[in-house]
Amino acid sequence: MRIESINIIAFGKLKNCKTEFSDGFNVVLGDNEDGKTTIMEFIKMMFYGSKSRVSGISGNPRKKYLPWDGSPMAGSIEFSHNNKRYRIEREFGASNATDRIMLFDVDLGTYENFTGNREIGKEFFGISCAAFEKSAFIGNDIKPADNSEADGEINSKLSNITSSGDEDFSYEKILKRITDAKEDIISKSGKKGLYPTHKSQLEELEEQQTACVALNRRRDEISENIAALEGQALQLSKQKSDIFESIKDVERAEQRSRLIEFIKAAEEYELTEKALELNDQSIADRDFLETLNTKIKTVKELDLTETNRKADIKLLADDIIALEKEQSVDGNRDYLEKQKNDVYEKLREKNQKLAQIEATCAILNSKLENSKPRARLIFLIMGAAISLIAICGAIMANKPILLSGVVLGIILVISAFIFKSKPKTDSLDEQLSSAISQKQKILQDIEQLRLELLEKEGLLNRREVQASTAKELLAAKNTDMVKRRAALLEIQNKKADLLTDLIKFTSKFTAVSDISSAEQTAAHIAELLQKLENDRIRAQFAVKGTGCKSISEAKEKLSYIKNVDDKPMLNRDILNNKLRDATDRYNEVIKEITALKAELSTAFNTIRTPQEFDRDRNELIEKLADEKDFYECAEIAEKALGEAFSDIRKGFGSAIEQRALELFSKITNNRYNRVSISKNFDIAVSGNDTLSSRDIEYLSRGTHDQAYFALRLALSELLALDCGGLPVLLDDVFAQYDDTRTCEGIKFLEEYSRANQIIFFTCHGEIARIAGKQSVKIINIKQ
Amino acid sequence: MDRKITFLHTADIHLGCELKTSGPRASERRAEILLCLKNIFSLCNIHDVQIMLISGDLFENNSVSEDIVDSFLDYVKSAPKTRVFYAAGNHDPLTADSPLLDHSLPDNLYILGTKDECIPLDDIGVKVFGRSFSGASMKGSNTFSIPSENDGFLKLMVIHGDFGTDISGPYNTITREFIETSGMDYIALGHVHKYSGVNKIGNTYFAYPGCPEPHGFDETGNKGVIIGSFCDNVLSHEFVHTSIRTYRDEKIDISEAVTSDGAAKIIVGSLKERFGEMFNKNLYKLTLIGRLPEGVKIKISQIERMLSEQLYFAKIKDRTEVEIDLDILKNENTLKGKFVKIMLKKQENTNDESERNKLRCAMFLGLKAFSSEVKYNED
């Protein structure tokens, strides 16, 4: 590409300024403020416009180069490219989008309207404005201000250019930015960064959510249990109420019963009291009854006394009659005397018989004694003695029982005879026994007669005593009889008086005629009084707990109490037991409910619903997705950047190095024959006089500038390779050079301009003079 | 039914929710949700609403503070002519720890039990049916167990559930069959936070009103309640906006910006244009898009700081691209040119749209690294 000419209609201070350029070396000479930089900026802006939107004037060429007369910035530029000539006419607006651009094909006479943000420079030359600025557009602003900074900046830019083809972009820096961005999301260790943090938060949240689900389930279970228990409690409460109501019914029934009983008892009391009313309106009370009974008793006692007295008198009269009769009958005494004598006679006869028998016995005994041992004799004597004693005793003591001793004596006697010593005594024994037997009978008869005699004698004696006594008695009794009859009369009179009083007293209650009816009345009163007392006690008992004091009050209360008599009633104890059971169960259920509710209010008071976590969770998931996307994008970019870097390094890096060496050697008049750009883009150079390379940092500032200049030109060539080379615009790049270097530089440019158009802007006339010796077009813009 | 019955349908208020995503504004937002509810009760008085139907999730959970419950009960009392029917949802199930159970309830508040229930209002000829959630989850059914009778009553149902087909779902699935066989005139649903519009299956109208006050950026747009009237069996209704603030997820093109300040101005201008003078009341999730010229460096943190003075709440995502002519750049024999060329090639070689987008993002991320630090700036 070659710039043919420019026509500045209005741009900064320049107006209607036309300049033509040669294909080779052009030197634009002008003093400071003559517009050299303005022309350079005009050329650049004709191709690229300006995207700067900064408000300050220095950073925004659209403001900086605003024509002083206020007219719009405008102009045209003609250039050849790929053997074709073009003209750009441009009127600058506020931005690239509003610039009016016309591209003319000068050879064909056609034009194209460029609109929007299209950059003609980029479309024609294939390089961006930035690349253009930093390669072919070499201003003096890039020169270092001092050595130390210059070295660093040159190194830096050189590295950038060799690594990225752009001195502003360092591959490593760009890579680091991407890596840093990646590591903001996930660190190399994978443990730090936004993603692991948020992932950890998400996991924590999900754990909380899971725990929350379990807690909610537990809460629901507890709630269900509470609901079930509350149902039970309700049932039990109803049961309790029912039982309580039943107890109340029982109480009501009891109360009713008491009131009814009270009313009945009270009414009966009143009736009884009425029945006890006396003629003087007073009541026949216990005192009345007692008086009555006393009176009756007194009358009755007198009556009894009278009866007794009468009986005594009768007995006395009988006694008198008997005594009188006894005195009148003496035949009995003679009869008794005769009887006594008869007995006496019989007794005498018997005694005689006994003597005979005893003689017989004595004979037999003597015979037997001779034949029997001595013992028999003893038996015999003993028997006789005993019998005799017995008989005497019986007679003396007048006790027949003693006669049993006779029997014993006889037995002994018999034994004496039974006792055999020899068979020859048997006959004697028999005889003796018979004699004894007879004797015994006689003795019995004697005893009987003797007793009879004694009796007759006693009777006779008593009869005589009686007769005497009766006589005396009769007299006494007759006297007594008189006395008694007088006393009886007195009693009868007194009794009549008392009976009259009794009848009068009883008639206060009811009329009576005799003591019997008075007694009946007293019994009736007593019965009524007992009934009255019973009614009183009944009423008192019944009224307990009712709080009533009168029948009317009781009746009123009764009317308020529901009659539940028709309801089946259970036993109150059973009901109380049932109520106790139900209450206990109810209390247990309530206790359980309370415990569960306490658990609900404490264990779940900060519980969240699982859904509450969703929003936080979704937000974290969204963040994680974004972070993952970003990380993956950074990874992709990182990888692609690596690939691009390899490409650049492969082709561009070595080409730059080679071309930079060629140009650097030429600029320095072959003082340096080797330039190496390390992997780290450090530049080392070596000259003809030495074999060793020296780092560019050790060289002078002029050499730095030369190296940098060579590199910029090499870059310009390489960047514009596809478009056949770019015009190189230089803004006083030799300002810091000494004369030798300036000469060498100009010489180099002259040579270089044979292949590439050079537009060299300078304010130094000397440079123009040196250049003028060569085939250089000098364009003087000095005003 | 010749009388006019006016009802208000709301749901999913979530009093006491944490609102973590609202950051430092969470506390204020919680207060505003309560204020929104107060405003809804004011609407009842303004519109002579006879019946208010709250279809669950009134509270965020059963552990809400006493003052929230007391406030709600005060609001109910403030609209004595409105009978308020409440069916608890999965967030605030009618369990033993339900916040309302320990309080003395106003006469005009009716809470549906956990079994199917019908509350007749003989004086106005209305029957309100429904049931509350008995736990954090509850299985649905294809039919409502209390049959509807042809008795001339207006039949409304209030219930929290998920409209769908799978009745084994955990959130009381409301099926088409359920609605069709319910015999209701209107079913007030809750659970879905977005207004569904009023729909009809068979003779039954049904709707989700959505939440009256939004809780996060997943609930963008205007929120409100349904106010409806039945007159001669004909339903007329309107969706009344109630939200004090709205959440907005907006994309803003800041291509024209050259500084962070400029970008903030563009954002504010754009939001003002979209949402009018009250734009600054909203909560925004802003995605910055557009193409920024190389060298223009915009810092999200600076934009956020500038916006914080003008917007109630904003979180920003930077998705801007570098303004660059890729076709020209790809031909540059530079690192950048090569990089772009490689990335464009990769994009050409894939048929996957999302992969292509990712590669494009990666390319611009790489290009950004040429001029400045690359920061992941999701706040």
Q: Convert B331-363 to b/e letters by CB count within 10 Å (16 or more is b).
A: bbbbbbbbbbbbbbebbeeeeeeeeeebbbbbb
Q: What's the rounded mean pLDDT across residues B158-177?
A: 93
Q: Are B298 and B254 in contact (CB under 8 A)?
A: yes
pLDDT value, residue B338: 87
Cβ–Cβ contacts within 10 Å for residue B120, how many? 13
Q: Which residue(s) pair with B225 in the sheet?
A: B240
- Integer angstrom CA distances of residue B308 from B19, B27, B217, B315, B316: 19, 17, 18, 10, 11
Q: How far is B364 from chain A (nearest CA, A)?
A: 9
A117 and B325: CB-CB below 8 Å? yes
pLDDT value, residue A221: 87
- Which residue is associated with the tokens 């009859």? A485
Taken in order A39, A41, A44, A45, the sign of the CA dihedral is: negative
Q: Convert B195-205 to b/e letters by CB count within 10 Å (16 or more is b).
A: beebeebeebb
Cross-chain CB nearest to A604 (options B90, B97, B341): B97
- Chain B residues near residue A722 by CB distance under 8 angstroms: 331, 333
- Chain A residues near residue B62 by CB distance under 8 angstroms: 219, 604, 607
Taken in order A473, A474, A480, A481, the sign of the CA dihedral is: positive
B61 and A612: CB-CB below 8 Å? yes
Of A452-466, B49-63, B83-97, where does mean pLDDT reach its minimum? A452-466
Cβ–Cβ contacts within 10 Å for residue A559, how many? 8
Nearest Cα neighbor of A771 from A22, A18, A143, A132 is A22
Cα B338 from Cα B343, distance rounded (Å)? 9
Cross-chain CB nearest to A166 (options B20, B335, B358): B335
Cβ–Cβ contacts within 10 Å for residue A715, how many? 30
- Chain A residues near residue B348 by CB distance under 8 angstroms: none
- Give the best residue of B320, B333, B344 to mutate against chain A (max A CB count within 10 A): B333
pLDDT value, residue A161: 58
- Give the best residue of A162, A177, A645 to mutate against chain B (max B CB count within 10 A): A177
Q: How far is A559 from chain B (nearest CA, A)?
A: 39
Element (H, E) at B186: strand B186-190
> How far out from the chain centre does Cα A580 lie?
25
Amino acid of residue B365: L
- Chain A residues near residue B365 by CB distance under 8 angstroms: 178, 181, 630, 633-634, 637
**Three state DSSP letters for A150-219:** HHHHHHHHHHHHHHHCCCCCCHHHHHHHHHHHHHHHCCCCCCCCHHHHHHHHHHHHHHHHHHHHHHHHHH
A220 and B218: CB-CB below 8 Å? no
A612 and B376: CB-CB below 8 Å? no
B333 and A722: CB-CB below 8 Å? yes
Cα B103 from Cα B97, distance rounded (Å)? 11
- Chain B residues near residue A637 by CB distance under 8 angstroms: 339, 343, 362-363, 365-366, 369
pLDDT value, residue A151: 40
Q: How far is A739 from chain B (nearest CA, A)?
A: 36
3-state secondary structure of A484: helix
- Give the best residue of A221, A641, A656, A726 to mutate against chain B (max B CB count within 10 A): A641
Cross-chain CB nearest to A611 (options B62, B90, B372): B90
- Give the best residue of B60, B97, B354 to mutate against chain A (max A CB count within 10 A): B97
User: Which chain B residue is nearest to residue A614, measuring alpha carbons?
Assistant: B218
Q: Are B140 and B178 in contact (CB under 8 A)?
A: yes
Cα B376 from Cα A195, distance rounded (Å)? 11
Residue B84: phi and psi, rounded to 5, are: -100, 125
Q: Are A47 and A117 in contact (CB under 8 A)?
A: no
B366 and A600: CB-CB below 8 Å? no
A615 and B215: CB-CB below 8 Å? yes
3-state secondary structure of B254: coil
Cross-chain CB nearest to A647 (options B328, B338, B346): B338
pLDDT under 70: residue ranges of chain A: 115-117, 126, 130-131, 134-135, 139-169, 327-332, 369-376, 416-425, 605-607, 650-653, 677-683, 688-691, 719-724, 774, 783
Nearest Cα neighbor of B128 from B112, B139, B114, B108 is B112
Q: How far is A104 from chain B (nearest CA, A)?
A: 21
Cross-chain CB nearest to A178 (options B329, B338, B366): B366
Cα B117 from Cα B125, distance rounded (Å)? 17
A610 and B333: CB-CB below 8 Å? no
B376 and A181: CB-CB below 8 Å? yes
Nearest Cα neighbor of B202 from B237, B178, B167 is B178
Q: How far is B113 from chain A (nearest CA, A)?
A: 12
B333 and A222: CB-CB below 8 Å? no
Per DSSP, A651 falls in state: I
Element (H, E) at B317: strand B313-318
- Integer angstrom CA distances of residue B42 from B38, B100, B190, B239, B262: 6, 21, 21, 16, 43
> What residues contact residue A117 under an 8 Å CB cut-off, 6+ apart?
A96, A97, B323, B325
Q: What is the largest CA-CA distance in chain B?
A: 88
Q: How far is A45 from chain B (nearest CA, A)?
A: 16
Cα B275 from Cα B281, distance rounded (Å)? 10
- Chain A residues near residue B341 by CB distance under 8 angstroms: 644
B342 and A166: CB-CB below 8 Å? no
- Chain A residues near residue B346 by CB distance under 8 angstroms: 636, 640
Tell me: pLDDT of B183 over 50.
yes
Cα B112 from Cα B99, distance rounded (Å)? 14
Cross-chain CB nearest to A174 (options B294, B342, B370): B370
> How far out from the chain centre does Cα B305 lie?
27
Taken in order A559, A560, A561, A566, the sign of the CA dihedral is: positive
Give the tens place of pLDDT for each residue, A219-255. Answer: 888 888 888 898 899 999 999 998 888 888 888 888 8
Taken in order A129, A130, A136, A137, the sign of the CA dihedral is: positive
Q: Are A673 and A210 in contact (CB under 8 A)?
A: no
pLDDT value, residue A719: 67
- Chain B residues near residue A618 by CB distance under 8 angstroms: 218
- Which residue is associated with the tokens 């004596």? A409
A615 and B20: CB-CB below 8 Å? yes
Of B40-44, B175-179, B280-284, B370-374, where does mean pLDDT reach its minimum? B370-374
Per DSSP, A507 falls in state: T
Taken in order B176, B182, B183, B188, the sign of the CA dihedral is: negative
Cross-chain CB nearest to B95 (options A122, A180, A220): A220
3-state secondary structure of A55: coil
pLDDT value, residue A145: 30
pLDDT value, residue A215: 84
A223 and B374: CB-CB below 8 Å? no
CB pairs < 8 Å spanning A and B: 214
Model pTM score: 0.54
- Integer angstrom CA distances of residue A570 from A191, A319, B244: 80, 80, 68
Q: How far is B22 from chain A (nearest CA, A)?
A: 11
Nearest Cα neighbor of B247 from B311, B290, B185, B192 is B311
Nearest Cα neighbor of B121 from B42, B174, B52 is B52
Q: Are A729 and A759 in contact (CB under 8 A)?
A: yes
Q: How far is B5 from chain A (nearest CA, A)?
A: 35
Burial (0-12, 13-18, 19+ Cβ within 10 Å), A614: middle
User: Which chain A residue is nearest to residue B59, measuring alpha carbons?
Assistant: A609
Dihedral angle computed from the Cα positions of residues B200, B203, B208 and B209, in that order, rounded to the nearest 10 degrees: 100
B335 and A165: CB-CB below 8 Å? yes
Amino acid of residue A426: D
- Chain B residues near residue A216 by CB distance under 8 angstroms: 135-136
A640 and B378: CB-CB below 8 Å? no
Q: Are B205 and B176 in contact (CB under 8 A)?
A: no
pLDDT value, residue A96: 82
User: Which chain B residue is nearest to residue A721, measuring alpha carbons?
Assistant: B333
Q: Are A28 and A728 in contact (CB under 8 A)?
A: no
Cross-chain CB nearest to B135 (options A51, A223, A644): A223
> What residues contact residue A64 under an 8 Å CB cut-off, 6+ apart?
A12, A57, A58
Q: Are A655 and A716 in contact (CB under 8 A)?
A: no
Cα A60 from Cα B254, distance rounded (Å)? 20
pLDDT value, residue A734: 80
Cα A706 from Cα A719, distance rounded (Å)? 19
Q: How far is A64 from chain B (nearest CA, A)?
A: 18
Element (H, E) at B68: helix B66-78
- Chain A residues near residue B91 by CB distance under 8 angstroms: 609, 611-612
Q: Are A694 and A737 in contact (CB under 8 A)?
A: no
